[in-house]
Chains A and B, each alone.
Chain A
Amino acid sequence: MYQFSGKLKMLAIGLMVIGLIGTAISFMNTPKTLQDAKDILAKQEASHHGSHGGGHGEATNDHHANTEHKSDTHKSDHKEVKSNDVAHTNDHKKEVKADSLSHKEEAANHAEDTRLTDSLNGHVAEKAHVDPSSHAGNDHDTAHHGDDHEEHAKHAFHQMQNKPWSAIYVSLIFFLGISLLVMAFYAAQRVAHAGWSVVLFRVMEAITANLHYVSAIMLVFIIVTAMHMNHLFPWMADGVFDPLSENYDPIIDGKKWFMNLPGWVMRSVFYLLVWNGFRFYIRKKSIEQDNGDLDLHKKIYNVSVVFILLFMITESMMSWDWIMGIDPHWFSTLFGWYVLATLLVSALTVICLVTLYLRSKGHLPFVNDSHIHDLAKFMFGFSVFWTYLWFAQFMLIWYADMPEETTYFALRFKEYVVPFIGMIALNFIFPILLLINSDFKTVPWVIVIAGVFILVGHYVDLFVMIMPGTVGAQWGFGIGEISAFLFFLGLFIFATFNAFAKANPVVKGNPFLHESEIHHYYIIEHRGEDNAHH
């Protein structure tokens, strides 16, 4: 039996304590009043003018100036020409559209425009600035100008208030998703009667123990969100569904049958119940099966089939409810798959890293280089799969360039261009180059490097999915984000190794155990293994 070492336990608890303290600090540093937020904005604006000089004087009355400096829209003449062009086509489209619409629809359209402007933090308005000759832009702009400054400060204030919440939320979804996908992968191995992975079953089970812990935190988060203690989901705001309110949003109102608070809470709780229930039951039966009972084996098989079915449904809906709901005006059909891919490749990487750690400490005597090779192949393959879905989603929207879809990526290119493009290198290029070689797929340090790239990359991926809708241009990677990550990392270490110490590291009663112990991928050489099975 594995012994959860005191050192590791201290590390886990230490990480959690540091994480909690940091999170508390980040909550305290959040501006409390509108005035605080205005001061911060003024500071940001001052530094903007300091660094860019008087190159574009018009920026002084561009109240969204602070949103500009991260993405350098004025980098070169060439780029300006391009954005001019874009503004032209967009305005033109808008005019044509408006002509053909009835008055009523026009009003609704205008409402949408205003909100898009808002959610893009002045994206549309900024385009109008670039091209002063366009009617549509000017009308729109003047209509806005009066209360623009106050509106913007308020908007930025809400975003700043969202920051510590979003920091927790990104890490929460990241670790919840990884634990869940390890569970799904484990169930898939059971259902497929996989012969190679049986010696890794207890590692996977141990990782899924974390599902219970993060689900509890998620439950609290759901309750807190439903009590309006944070404003991560714009559709939960007051008056969104009320035609008499100035917050009224006809588009969200049209989605009311799905996007309503009771429905959201019930669905969320249902997902958590399903996942945790199946995880608890399968783990329990798996430990019982150490006695070699084949009826239990069949039972776990049947339960796993049902789990995978429910998992596929709940995972898709979870990604709509918990992630896509942050941008309630935007929708994408393959979003559920895309989230699945991001979490699945992270889950496989985590399985591989935990396995490598436990093997290096001598707790997994039957895990040989072929098992590691297989895990690395999965990491490689699903990195490509993630890239495929990421690109499919991006390219389809980029190509058709329909305004209601493109705003999603326009915002990401404008404010998040470094993480958004950088994650392609982390999630695709580096893992591909590191893991394409068959020999490298058994070398621990190569896999660890590739694994760190993959995990950081997919954290960034979730970051870029969630942050633009909640904090917009006010994002940063500071104490709040790091602390939340450290807290959940500590929790993960604690949950995983605690659970691994509670059961035999080998699933003794499994009928495929022997096959797994002698597993050998014939092309590779096993290095430094002295167990009798080879």
Chain B
Amino acid sequence: MSTNKVIHALYNDDDILMDAVKKVKGEHHHIEEVYTPFPVHGLDKALGLAPTRLAITAFLYGITGTSIATWLTWYTMIADWPQDIGGKPSFSWLENMPAFVPILFELTVFFAAHLMVITFYMRSRIWPFKEAENPDPRTTDDHFLMEIPVHNNEEKLTALLETTGAVEIKVVDKH
């Protein structure tokens, strides 16, 4: 099957785009990708995308940060060299715990934030010098682009998209 042919339908309004997405989904066509210059609220729901699990990873990273901070403060301040510093009780970790809380808190936030951002970069494949995957430069400014793969139904799809208020429809070969 020659599936490397796709249709690009361009829109110039996010409301029209949303209606078009709903209509195309209603006709049971698969939408490969939608390119927009800004976040369109509700687009992920309309496309039927699964919710993100980034928040869950952040929670786990946060717990990791707390654990590392706990271990760090315990090992350095209690286990390795328990000095008397200004009369602070260094007999056990719990006794001196209030003094460690700022570190516990900051490392929790640090791990949660940074590791989540890195996870986001990895999952969405963003890095410096990455080649941009933008099919049409106008989609970064004021146009919205919907990409639909063609499976020998070019005419039918074009006709459908024309009814959705697209300002431009073109069939391109994708490599």
Chain A residues within CB distance 8 Å of chain B = 78, 81-82, 85, 89, 391, 394-395, 398-399, 401, 436, 438, 522
Contact = CB atoms under 8 A, between A and B. Distances in A.
13 contacts: A78-B91, A78-B92, A81-B91, A82-B91, A85-B89, A89-B87, A391-B98, A394-B98, A395-B98, A395-B101, A399-B98, A436-B59, A522-B41
Given A82-B89, A82-B95, A438 B55 contact: yes
Contacts, number: 22
B26 interface: no
Nearest to A396: B98
A387 B157 CA distance: 58
B99 interface: yes
A391 B87 contact: no
B42 interface: yes
Contacts of A82: 89, 91, 95
Given A78-B91, A82-B91, A391 B55 contact: no
A82 B84 CA distance: 13
B95 A399 contact: no
Contacts of A401: 87
A82 B55 CA distance: 43
Contacts of B55: 438
Nearest to A397: B98
A391 B42 contact: no
Q: Give the interface SS of chain B, mostly helix, strand, loop or mixed.
A: loop
A391 B99 CA distance: 11
A398 B87 CA distance: 12
Interface of B: 41-42, 55, 59, 87, 89, 91-92, 95, 98-99, 101
A522 B92 CA distance: 47
A81 B101 CA distance: 25
B21 to A, nearest CB: 16
Given A89-B87, A401-B87, A436-B59, 13 more contacts: A78-B92, A81-B91, A82-B89, A82-B91, A85-B89, A391-B98, A391-B101, A394-B98, A395-B98, A395-B99, A398-B98, A438-B55, A522-B41
Contacts of A85: 89
A270 B136 CA distance: 68
Contacts of B89: 82, 85
A522 B39 CA distance: 12
A77 to B, nearest CB: 11
A494 B99 CA distance: 46
Contact of B99 (A89, A399, A438): A399
A55 to B, nearest CB: 22
Nearest to A388: B105
A438 B54 CA distance: 13
A26 to B, nearest CB: 36
A515 B89 CA distance: 56
Contacts of A399: 98-99
A352 B87 CA distance: 46
A78 B90 CA distance: 12
The 7 nearest A-B residue pairs measured at CB? A395-B98, A398-B98, A522-B41, A89-B87, A522-B42, A82-B89, A82-B91
Contacts of A81: 91
Contacts of A438: 55
Contacts of B59: 436
Contacts of A89: 87
A399 B97 CA distance: 11
Q: Which of B42, B87, B95 has the most CB of A within 10 A?
A: B87
A394 B59 CA distance: 27
A78 B95 CA distance: 11
A522 B98 CA distance: 39
A89 B88 CA distance: 11
B82 to A, nearest CB: 13
A197 B153 CA distance: 50
Contacts of B91: 78, 81-82
A46 B162 CA distance: 93
Contacts of A522: 41-42
A398 B42 CA distance: 50
Nearest to B88: A399
Nearest to A93: B87
Contacts of B101: 391, 395
A394 B41 CA distance: 44
A362 B117 CA distance: 43
A391 B102 CA distance: 10
Contacts of A391: 98, 101
A414 B76 CA distance: 30
